[in-house]
Amino acid sequence: MQLEIQLDPVEARLFGVLVEKALTTPDQYPLSVHAATVGANQKSNRDPVLSLGEDDVEAGLQRLEKKYMARRVFPANSRIEKFCHNGKDALGVDAPGLAVLAELLMRGPQTPGELRSRANRMVTFESLDAIMSVIASLADRGLVRRVAPAPGSRAERYVQLVSPDLHPLEVAAGGYAGAAVAPSADLEARVVALEHEVRRLRGRLTLLAERAGYPFDDDSDD
């Protein structure tokens, strides 16, 4: 499914930064053009690291505004305009979903285990099952999709679809993808993902059986 909203690389980074700062440093949010520039260019939690000028950032924020993905505000006691994201209204996504989407925009395709570890700084995910529920919801809305594991890994990854082709799906040897997650976490993520898929397919089978007039006998031990 092709999304109506598509972001270029600068817009994608800035939207991710706006979401991140709203959730991690709400007392410093909304962001000025200068603060957004610093956030876009910071070296931690970013891949790739960029070097954008304030003119580039201001132009990117204006484009986000035209796409209804951001808006400018004039907070009380502030002499300069600032910007905040409009992700909840524009995409229909709540804070946990926005946190996952922001991580994918700012760091590229990741496994559920990586997403849980990294997005926890924005929203607490108590378990892999919790973050898989969020991922499934985003996938249903056409905002993310599952992709093949990184070379040398067996863990599935997910990529965002708001800015297609933003990050390469193949990771060079020594790259960051998969490096921060232990094999046991990857295995647990795969099991949780399979459980979600089984529940989704079981739900579809039940619905089809009801429509056909045949009750679906589920003898599972859930």
pTM (predicted TM-score) = 0.77
pLDDT range class, residue 173, cuts 50, 70, 90: very low
What pLDDT, in 10s, does the model give residues 14-61?
Answer: 999 999 999 999 999 999 999 999 999 999 999 999 999 999 999 999
The residue that leads in pLDDT, 78 or 216, is 78
What are the structural domains of the chain? 9-90 (1.10.10.10), 108-166+180-212 (1.10.10.10)
The residue that leads in pLDDT, 156 or 219, is 156
Query: Collapsing DSSP states into helix, strand and coil, what is residue 4?
Result: coil
Looking at residue 197, what is its pLDDT?
63
The helix or strand, by DSSP H or E, that contains position 24, with its residue range, turns out to be: helix 9-24
The torsion region of residue 170 among left (phi > 0), alpha (psi -120 to 50) and beta comes to beta
What stretches of 11-90 adopt beta strand conformation (E)?
70-73, 82-85
